Amino acid sequence: MSIHAAVAERRGHVRHAIDLPVLVEAEFGTLHGRTVNLSFGGARIRLPLPYGLGRHDGLRAIVIEGIGHFDCRAVWASDFEIGVQFRDTRRARRLLGALLPDHEDHPAGTPWQGS
């Protein structure tokens, strides 16, 4: 696992560049992938095979190895990446709290200066 500098974007949660193994559970089957970035609100996931632009509606959950199961929905998809939003951000905060620094007190769009 490698943790890089935090990335603040125009989102409600600060994204952190983190590389972790992940299983993507969808109606059509299970895919192995890796996180590109992660927050208390969701994740960007890179896949080894094209996910398909029209198939992201069938996503049910992701399982991040060593951390846990997250019910989620896909909010976007490209050929080899998907963006997911966690359905229960309180549960995500509990599961990810030890891994991600809590900088949620910074408003969305305000860059966080990490060390």
**pLDDT-derived band of residue 107, with 50, 70 and 90 as boundaries?**
very low
The number of CA neighbours under 13 Å toward the Cβ of 55 is 17
Q: Are 103 and 109 in contact (CB under 8 A)?
A: no
How large is the C-alpha radius of gyration of the chain?
14
Between 14 and 55, residue with greater pLDDT: 14
- Beta-bridged to residue 3, according to DSSP, are 18
Model confidence over 75-88: pLDDT tens digits? 988 889 999 999 99
Its pTM stands at: 0.76
Q: Residue 94's Cα: distance from chain center in Å?
A: 15
Average per-residue pLDDT for the chain: 79
Q: Are 74 and 44 in contact (CB under 8 A)?
A: no
The full set of domains in the chain, from first to last, is: 2-96 (2.40.10.220)
